Amino acid sequence: MTSDELSLEEALDDLEAIVSYLEEGKMSLEESLALFEKGIHLVRQCRLSLEKAEQRIEIITGELPPDLRG
């Protein structure tokens, strides 16, 4: 499964692992930069997933009668 196919939960788990590795500081600069780049990609993917979920919620709640939208 590629990072583009990860669920939000899987992407967050991967991101958490990347942060832990980077905090250890035991990698070379190049390794750290590669992980940082992957982390940025995962953050963008998570943001997109959350935006899509928010859009779905807005569509669903927009279909509700006004008195139930609360």
Digit-by-digit pLDDT tens for the chain (70 residues) are: 555 679 999 999 999 999 999 999 999 999 999 999 999 999 999 999 999 999 998 888 887 777 776 6
Task: Note the pTM of the prediction, 2 decimals.
Answer: 0.78
Looking at residue 69, its pLDDT comes to 66
Nearest one of 47, 46, 37 to 13, comparing CA atoms: 46
What's the pLDDT at 70?
63
In a domain, 57, yes or no: yes
As for how many domains the chain has, the answer is: 1
Per-residue burial over 37-59, b if 16 or more Cβ lie within 10 Å, else e, is eebeebeebbeebeeeeeeeeee
Angle, helices 8-24 vs 29-62, to 10°: value is: 150
For 59, the domain range is 3-63
The domain that holds 49 is classified in CATH as 1.10.287
Identify the pLDDT of residue 66: 74
Name the one residue in this structure whose structure tokens are 């139930």.
68
Q: Is residue 70 part of a domain?
A: no
